[in-house]
Homo-oligomer: A and B are copies of this chain.
Amino acid sequence: MIEATDFRNGMSLLATAVNVVTTEGAAGRYGFTASAVCSVTDTPPTLLVCMNQATRSHANFVENKTLSVNVLGAHQEHISNAFASPLDSEQRFEHGSWTKLETGSPILEEALVSFDCEIESTQTVGTHSVFMCRVVAIKQENAPSTPKPKPLESLQPSNVDIQSLIYFNRAYHHVG
Contacts and interface: CB of A to CB of B under 8 A. Distances in A.
A17 B37 CA distance: 12
Contacts of A168: 164, 175-176
Interface string A105-144: 0000000110100000001011110101001111010011
Interface stretch (A3-11, A22-30, A55-63, A86-94): A3-11
Interface size class of A (residues with CB under 8 A): 35 or more
A43 interface: yes
A4 B40 CA distance: 12
A8 B50 CA distance: 21
Nearest to A69: B14
Contacts of A13: 71, 112-113, 140, 159, 162, 164
A96 interface: no
A52 B144 CA distance: 27
A97 interface: no
Contact of A158 (B19, B48, B169): B169
